[in-house]
Amino acid sequence: MSLLSSCQSLQSFTRRTALSGGLALLMLPTVKMALAASDVWPKNLVVPGGVARISLGPAAVRPTVHDGDVPVLVLGDVIEWTAVLGIPLGALPGNASLTVQAPGGSTKQVAYTITPKQYREQRLKVAPGTVDLAPNDLARFEKERAHQASVMGTFSEPLPQEPLRMQVPTPGRRSSSFGLRRVFNGQSRNPHSGMDIAAPTGTPIVAPLPGQVIDTGNYFFNGNTVWLDHGGGLLSMVCHLSAIEVKVGERLQTGDRIGAVGATGRVTGPHLHWGVMLNQAMVDPALFLAD
Ligand code: ZN
């Protein structure tokens, strides 16, 4: 049982007993402590594009965990370690496992199950000839893709500071289009891998968590983009900016200004595209927000 599920059951138990009286008073301090330990992490949603909180049990030293050869964030303490795993949008539902290495060197597989999730599909008809990139644009995109892949491979210490609940980087109407499958003239494109927030050009964008700026640039699809490294393979990106106001290497605190909303790159109007990446998987940023 994960820490989350044990907390939820404790919480609902307390709610029930609160109606009938005295025992709730005895339970309350325990519940508060348990929530303090777990409610600061992203929500557990074990679907493609989600985040799995996988219990690893107690150990004297933080275990090392890999998903294939990609390192995975491990949080907790000697009483209960938890792998906090990003699941790629392209992951197949069903059984999967992580490799857990104890400090002594012994390894074991820890199983988890990815539940299917059917994301919405959007079919668009656009003018013929606009679906495929022109040769120049394609060459630029391929070069940028290689650079972005190296940025996405960042896994740095120290691990992210808790709480891991993020601040929304800009005010505005949030779309629920994460995972949306887009089909142009019958051709599938990559699913939408972030959250769009509608806001006028110039609206400030701030850091959702403490982090270091690891990349800035102007990219074909994403326009003016900033990547932040929060530690432990947790990254965030903001795209389509009208202005970038930070430099690579700068350390930011939550709420520090990164830049301003714009419409750079391949977009139809000003908005912020906000992406969150965990162990190289783009996951739903909404899982990192408080309700
Ligand atoms: Zn977007």
192 CA to middle of ligand 1, Å?
A: 6
CA distance 138 to 73: 34
274 CA to middle of ligand 1, Å?
A: 7
pLDDT of residue 133: 82
56 CA to middle of ligand 1, Å?
A: 34
CA distance 80 to 225: 37
> 181-227 pLDDT, tens per residue?
988 888 888 899 999 999 999 999 999 999 999 999 999 989 999 99
76 CA to middle of ligand 1, Å?
A: 32
pTM, full prediction: 0.84
Beta carbons of 285 and 178 less than 8 angstroms apart: yes
Task: Residues 118-288: name the CATH superfamily.
Answer: Glucose Permease (Domain IIA) (2.70.70.10)
> 30-64 pLDDT, tens per residue?
444 444 445 789 999 999 999 999 999 999 999 99
Helix (H) or strand (E) holding 27: helix 23-38
177 CA to middle of ligand 1, Å?
A: 8
63 CA to middle of ligand 1, Å?
A: 35
Name the residue among 224, 290, 213, 219 with its Cα closest to residue 257. Answer: 213
144 CA to middle of ligand 1, Å?
A: 18
86 CA to middle of ligand 1, Å?
A: 19
Instruction: List CB-based neighbours of ion ligand 1 within 5 Å.
Output: 196, 273
The residues facing 114 across adjacent strands are 94
> 120-176 pLDDT, tens per residue?
998 888 777 667 788 898 999 899 999 999 999 999 988 888 889 999 999 999 987
Domain range list for the chain: 118-288
> 229-288 pLDDT, tens per residue?
999 999 999 999 999 999 999 999 999 999 999 999 988 899 999 999 999 999 999 999
DSSP string across 72-130: EEEEEETTEEEEEEE--TTPPSEEEEEEEE-TTS-EEEEEEEEPP----EEEE---TTS
pLDDT of residue 23: 38
Whole-number percent of the chain with pLDDT over 70: 86
